[in-house]
Amino acid sequence: LDNGAVPDWLKQMEAFCNFVPEDLESEDKENPDELATYLKMRLLAPNYDIDRCVAAITEMLYLNPACSRAIERMYQTGRLGTAQTASEGGANVNWHAIHSRLCNVPGLPTAALEISTEHQIRGLEEVSTQEDEQSARVKLLRILRKAGIEDTSGDELSWNVLAEALSDLTFIQSARVLEIDAEWLGYPKEEMAKEVDKMIVLVDGHRLWGYLVRYKRGLAELIQPMRDLVDNNNPTLFEMSCLPMMEPVSWTKQDNYIYFMSQLSNHWDKLYDDLIRTVSGQEEFMVKEAWEHLLVVAPNQPIVIARHLQNMGEIDEATGLELEKKYRESPYLQIELGKVYRKQWNLQGAMRCFRNSVDLQPTIQGYNELAYEYQRKDKLKEYRDVLEEALSLESYGLENGETHTKLAYLLMRQGKWEEAKEHADGAAESHFAWRLIIGARSAEGLKQWKEAEEYRREYAERYGAVYGDTWYLWCARTGHGDIQEAKKLSDRYWKSLKRPQIYATTRWNESADRILAGDLQGAINVLQEHIDQRFQNTFQWVIAALLADRMGDEQQRDRIFQSVLSVCKHQETNARLVNLFMLALRDKAKLQWNEQAFMELVDAQPEDDVPFFYFCAGFFLGMHGEEELSRKHLQCAATGFYIDNPNCMYATLALRDKKIPIEEIRLNVHPEERNKGIKLMNLGYIARQEKRYEDSRKLLNESIELIPQFSAGLLERARLSLKEGKPAEAIKDYEEILKYDPESQKTHLYLAQVLCLCDQADVRNGEKALEHLKTAMNLRPGRHHWYTWLSGAAYAEQGNFERAIQYMTDAIKEEPKDKDYPKMLESYREGKGYYLAADKLP
């Protein structure tokens, strides 16, 4: 200032950038400062620190009812009810407050003044209806625009500018109500079309009105309207942080996206809002640069600290505790710190931060993070307690439905169907997408087939644009329901699809329909879509290969198998499964199926993937004469708990084709006799990651006692021994596996690694390492840098450094980004081995 004093707003901006919320509290509570209130509102994380943020937003809207950033902040809370209050219709009272302000604008055109006088706030009981206010607002905006055209004063702040500002706010609220109805609530297309037409009338004359058509048209129909928006508007308009439009407008056509990025990058400022908007974009070079600038502009903001923690990868205990203390009032950063601790397997610290967060601000997000940690440690009582604590939160829309869903699944997995139904029905009351599925799952578990079908039918009809085939497939799997009507809906859905741009799940489902019709080649073609595209689903390719095998087309089968191997990483599970099939077919006279190697593979899979492996193995074995084992594996896939898994349907069809009765649906996905042992193994893995080695060994020993020849458990115990610095114990477990499964490719590879890389000389043996490595290579053909660099290490251990140098040179060419390979090569050139401590072995 002229007198040398520092302006108040500079102090407030410093408080914002340095995250000092107490400096933004107004001294005069009766007349709070508008900028300080605005910055306080922006400082709080809307989806974590919800209550305080909503209070700040409410205060801001009292001071300035036309503040679009405050309206958008309401939407960002993620609470349905709160977001609806900020959208068109829900903001009715807010517009009455705006009319009250307009009544005090000097010189307001007479016709506009009459409208605002009619619709201003005169008392809570006297506000006009939503429809009346909206109709009056359209007239008001037309009057202001006309006055702006006729205004000859030359003032920059003309009536036309006021009209555009109010029109922008109307547009934002209209777009948000459509997004909530379409994407949060899943309104049918017919209802959305009516709502869009209503909103388009309300934003009549706005430069971006055409954006709203995205809520009533399909993807293909949107290309031209979105192109028109791009062509007819300045690209900087789409930067509006209160309505991020770049992605919805540009994903309809690649040219739009390229054009947007080239234009927006020219208008990008190193200011907080632009930086925050940029970091949520898709161009990595801009995102990286934006984060670097944010560390300078606002180094103490929780969102910046959170990103910095992610980039650091790990934090030491002292730094973590210091951040916990400094940001003890930020539920958002407490959760982000918890996630960092989780990645480091500091689960005690993670749970402490998650609990801190919900104590500061009880949120569904915080409770979900806390509950997850109890769930994966199999502490199901505590898991249930946390979810029931979350149910005590005031519901603003869909939040309780999510919690009811988790509780319903928990109780169903425990066989408590009647108790689960209460929560399943509570979730389904929202009629929101997958919550209808939980209602259907509960009804099916109780064999209430009519109710289950009602849920399935509503799901398919309400979300017909995406899930129009699900009712039909339910009828086909269960043998219940009106399959003819369901098939009509399903056929309409499949015909409406713009190929090949369809969901992966849809390809699963449509292929099942082709199988039901006896068109195996048609099913193969559906599953192979996108085989040469960016998004490759090798799960579907494996099944396509098995269907070709069923048709007797060995050439097509082997071609698809090779496609899987060519795109999968060397040890990726699908590649290992395909390799098992190819090894089994080595001798055309007799199948050489390795059941032990298959169980080693499937026992270590996430639950969602288990049905896939059992179906594939069962289907393959049935085609090659192993009927009993085939039946066992198909039953496991068909009767697992996750009945909506596509492989449950495939297995059901395969069993019916053989006229084999399908057993009762089970509570688990693994075979019952293996389930407890696998659960103990997984708990042992968690204990090892937390460095609770004694607990881990106890759990793993128990799991190995429960399951005879438990390769996955022995491999995990060997890994534990290495972490404890006991390579000799690890070798014993590897050798135990090879006694009953001499073709365990993974075991040969791990054993070779210990024998040539471990820093304990008494366990190293270069000749044996090379022998095991060659066996592994024969069991999984194909060149891979793992084989290459391990060959170099094995030859170096034998003293053959010339061969070691040759292999390491090749390994660097195959994987130039690996940081250890150059060190190994340098060591071999010096005639020295390269070793790692047992707990550092990869």
Higher pLDDT, 214 or 345: 345
Q: What is the pTM of this model?
A: 0.80
pLDDT band at 544 (very low <50, low <70, confident <90, very high): very high
Residue 592 vs residues 575, 588, 773: alpha-carbon distances, Å: 18, 9, 22
- Residue 238's Cα: distance from chain center in Å? 26
pLDDT at position 535: 45
| Average pLDDT of the segment spanning 363-387 | 94
pLDDT at position 273: 66
| Average pLDDT of the segment spanning 608-621 | 97
pLDDT at position 206: 84
Task: Give helix 504-516 / helix 520-527 axis angle, nearest 10°.
Answer: 180
Average pLDDT, the chain: 86
* Sequence-distant (≥ 6) Cβ neighbours of residue 302 within 8 angstroms: 19, 45, 327, 330, 332, 333, 336
pLDDT band at 826 (very low <50, low <70, confident <90, very high): very high
Higher pLDDT, 296 or 629: 629
Most confident of 18-22, 188-192, 333-337, 505-509: 333-337
For residue 62, give both structure tokens.
């009292």
Using omega within 30 degrees of 0 as the cis cutoff, is the peptide bond preceding 500 cis?
yes
Q: Are the beta carbons of 683 and 377 closer than 8 angstroms?
A: yes
Which 3-state string (H, E, C) describes 55-124? Answer: HHHHHHHHHCCCCHHHHHHHHCCCCHHHHHHCCCCCCHHHHHHHHHHHCCCCCCCHHHHHHHHHHCCCCC
| Average pLDDT of the segment spanning 504-519 | 85
CATH domain 749-842 topology: 1.25.40
Residues forming CATH 1.25.40.10 domain(s) in the chain: 749-842
| Average pLDDT of the segment spanning 430-450 | 87
For the cut 80, the answer to whether the pLDDT of residue 488 exceeds it is yes
Q: Strands, DSSP E only, in 183-330?
A: none
pLDDT at position 532: 43
Q: Tens digit of pLDDT for each residue in 637-682? A: 999 999 999 999 999 999 999 999 999 999 999 999 999 999 999 9
pLDDT at position 282: 53
Instruction: Give dist(CA 832, CA 827) in Å, integer.
Output: 5
Contacts for 21-30: CB closer than 8 Å, 24+ residues apart: 21/329
pLDDT band at 270 (very low <50, low <70, confident <90, very high): low
